[in-house]
Chains A and B, each alone.
Chain A
Amino acid sequence: MIEILQEYWLQLLIGGFPHTPLGGLALTVVLAVSGLVLAMPVGLLMAVPLRSRLKPVRALAELIIFYIRSVPLLLHVLWVYFLLPAALGVSFPPAITMLITLVLFNGAYISKIVVAGIDALPRGQTEAAMSLGFGRVQTMRFVILPQALRNMLPSLVSQLSLLIKETALGAAIGATEATQTFLDLANNLPGQAIQAYALLALAYFALCYPLLLLGRRLERRGRRTAKIALEPAS
């Protein structure tokens, strides 16, 4: 395994960059990190129509999110890959296509986690905030979401570690991220495929494990501290 690393570390790390678009582990990390950062707000946004007071809006949002969740990710990747350029007249690099798909797909799952987290809170929390004079949005922001997000942490962490692994599907549309790079390498090194796959597994573990630790830490901190710092009076 050491020899593989010594020989091919640069290729595994960045693919054919700078002669080709960024690839390898670096692309996986870029996709994963930007996916994590974007999927959260998109998931929160997608949760808004799910909680709308208007029934048709709720029903439509439910339908769309159910559709997203019930179709394999690979199919979404291909849809976005072919459909987006056809619809918008511009074509995106494969990595961007992959990122858009990952964010929407995981956003759909996160929206359901958010709604479940909100619904799990006692009704009295909303009533207490409203009785003080807070509106719906302020009640969400100051009272409901801070509590719901903390309760959602374990589910969020597992969803986000799925996202990291899902970046592997980028291979299907030519985003040569880590999995594709390692597969190519294994093909070129007969007899060393197992070592190459083992390295790949280690790489994914190294990406997911810190997320798990961070989640645990946030959870503990949430339970321990008496004070969540409110931002200075706005």
Chain B
Amino acid sequence: MKISINHISKSFQKTAVLQDISLEVADKSIHCLLGSSGSGKTTLLRILMGALTPDAGSVSIDAVKVPDKALLSRIGFMPQQDGLYAQLSIEDNLKFFAGIYGLDHTTFLKSSNELLEIVNLYDERKKIVANCSGGMKKRVSLICAFIHQPDLIILDEPTVGIDPLLRKQIWDYLHAQKETGKTILITTHVMDEAEKCDYASFLRNGKIIITDTIPHLVENAKNDSLESYFFLKGEH
């Protein structure tokens, strides 16, 4: 799914959080929104999902103007926090989110078993979420976003607080999903994450400083690290 963001601006109590943001997210790609805390990443995602109305500008996904309820069934979303019901088991959480997307029992079982296997949680599926470790919760939260086999997946800082091994597993899974034709939009404030994407957009003070493919960015950075390059760009 292709995302077109056109001249989006948003303010909260006279504080401009997003200023004239324009961005194209290519179909079947992994696009990263990189920026420090408070740079406007989550606000942009909320506008994309139709949770917030922009003060100016518009968003369209596959040429359909947002907000559109039908679009939401094709999007998977993972919030910054886990967004899970702590008193329920891993399986019950998946069942609930599958249910609200209208999955029948057979499709749910097929999809959940497959996803649980990928994140190594199949044997733990009956475990109550409150008793799970932070890493397990993150994995459950991630697969909840994939349970209804969406075409576009929006992940808000999915790898925060995740150990390196699990982070690698998650990235492998995201790349595998991209290969099946899905578009993934991910926010992060970690530079290493950006290097694993096809495209990266650097947000600073509510503005997009630069958007490019990772190879181009690395090439332009020359001897600098991507981090230094972004900050240098941000200064100008």
Specify whether A and B are partners.
no
Measured CB to CB, the residues of A under 8 A from B are: none
Measured CB to CB, the residues of B under 8 A from A are: none
